[in-house]
Structure 1
């Protein structure tokens, strides 16, 4: 083969190999409340970046424990600010990478459209068999639900009716299946589920803000896919998805 032809062939092979060589994988530990948003963000991220994204859903508290024990996550999308802050302070997370990607809203929800009109009054009457919340010890939305009930003076008296799940996704499933009469869920779950039922958007003065922070795990600081995911969450395309699912947006 003449040298110019050989050079052209080699260049073509190298160009074909470049995307594969650049493609990396990011494994993201994602708070369960953000499941629907992440499902919509994932294809856009992969198409725009060329990287692969693997999403693991669960409670923020469990993820913190797993990362401290060496779990191979690259990024944490927590449902609070405290756990990413702990990772940053302990050296397990990259401090400069931390930012708020969404501000969640808490909703009291029942799939029964006739269950209640006034959520606060409904809680005070106790006219339900079971009320589901996420475990306050590991799930920020569960901690917020507990705070709401404390603010309303209902927490001690409802202990026999409260059932706990590991994360907010499981809480939604409990109510949707009828295992719980009503539940404190993420507003995003109700919007994504397409079952309006009975809803009470909890006033934000009844619990601390549900600011949700993301952070790059130190073990992945040289992973371009991990950094690309965090960058993508700040893009207009991602923010549009986040807002459409009922989250408030942080200032860019």
Structure 2
């Protein structure tokens, strides 16, 4: 009987110990589940769509506890969304103008702004056509429709207008121009043959087999194409946003951007904080 009682007592103690361990582990797991999640929303120029998907995969490989959500649109549209209080942690613009506007309203986190990338402006036409060999050929009568981004909200459209004005052909071809809400819409209009020509970033053209680059804008014919990035003020995940911005300057990120035709800037080429109005 004594042996039986001892066995029962030992069994009861073992069950109690196992139960205590189970509840300890369960409580630890529950505590981990209640920890704040690392989540950031990144608003990026639509011309970066393809490259940023690879950037996301590379970043989550080294930061699996972070969820990155993208919002792609024309840089001017994204700028207005941020000004109106959209929950954005990081802004990556295709133009300095839009970033400067947010800077002027003190919406950028001090010390996070960098000039990240450069690009080029090109004239494109549907594959297999040979109507143009130079931007001035856009004046030809057979070129009836030309697509460019809306200059007030689309940096590519701003650069295109500057280029055409400097070539003294903007007014002549203005009746032919179809203004698109973003650079990807310009690309689609050319791909589908709805226009005979368009002006887009070189990176967009390189990644579409349905169009051909007909001309590349010379330096000095438009403003320098700079893609700046910065973290946005008054957001709960600032450190996570800073870490993502830092990653965009890493060697791995530079490799990805180069694959898609962008020209990464070195840290020494970035504008100083004083020139960025900080």
User: What TM-score, normalized by structure 2, do the two folds share?
Assistant: 0.81
Return closer, same or farther for 1:2/1:34 CA change in 2, 3 Å cut-off: same
Structure 1: runs of 5 or more not aligned = none
Separation in 2 of the partners of 1:2 and 1:35?
A: 56
Which residue does the alignment assign to 2:43? 29
Return closer, same or farther for 1:198/1:188 CA change in 2, 3 Å cut-off: closer
Which residue does the alignment assign to 1:214? 229
Which residue does the alignment assign to 1:190? 205
- TM-superposed CA distance for 1:250, in Å, is 0.9
Among candidates 182, 193, 198, match of residue 178 of structure 1: 193
Which residue does the alignment assign to 1:104? 119
1:154-165 aligned at under 5 Å gives the runs 154-165=169-180
SS at match of 2:179: strand
Per-residue CA shift, 1:15-74, capped at 9, x if unaligned? 797598464111111111111211221111122212111111111111111111111111
Higher radius of gyration, 1 or 2: 2
SS at match of 1:67: helix
Separation in 1 of the partners of 2:57 and 2:27?
A: 27
User: What TM-score, normalized by structure 1, do the two folds share?
Assistant: 0.89
Per-residue CA shift, 1:177-230, capped at 9, x if unaligned? 111111111111122223452432221221110111111110226433322221
Work out whether residues 113 and 198 of structure 1, in 8 Å CA contact, stay in contact via their aligned partners in 2.
no
Separation in 2 of the partners of 1:56 and 1:156?
A: 35
1:221-236 aligned at under 5 Å gives the runs 222-236=237-251
User: Is the counterpart of residue 58 in structure 1 residue 73 in structure 2?
Assistant: yes
Return closer, same or farther for 1:20/1:129 CA change in 2, 3 Å cut-off: farther
Structure 2: runs of 5 or more not aligned = 1-14, 268-278
Which residue does the alignment assign to 2:60? 46
| Superposition RMSD in Å | 2.5
Separation in 1 of the partners of 2:194 and 2:236?
A: 43
Greater mean deviation of Cα atoms: 116-125 or 231-240: 116-125
Return closer, same or farther for 1:126/1:35 CA change in 2, 3 Å cut-off: farther
Return closer, same or farther for 1:198/1:84 CA change in 2, 3 Å cut-off: closer
Separation in 2 of the partners of 1:238 and 1:20?
A: 32
SS at match of 1:37: helix
SS at match of 1:100: strand
Work out whether residues 107 and 201 of structure 1, in 8 Å CA contact, stay in contact via their aligned partners in 2.
yes
Which residue does the alignment assign to 1:76? 91
Among candidates 248, 251, 257, match of residue 242 of structure 1: 257
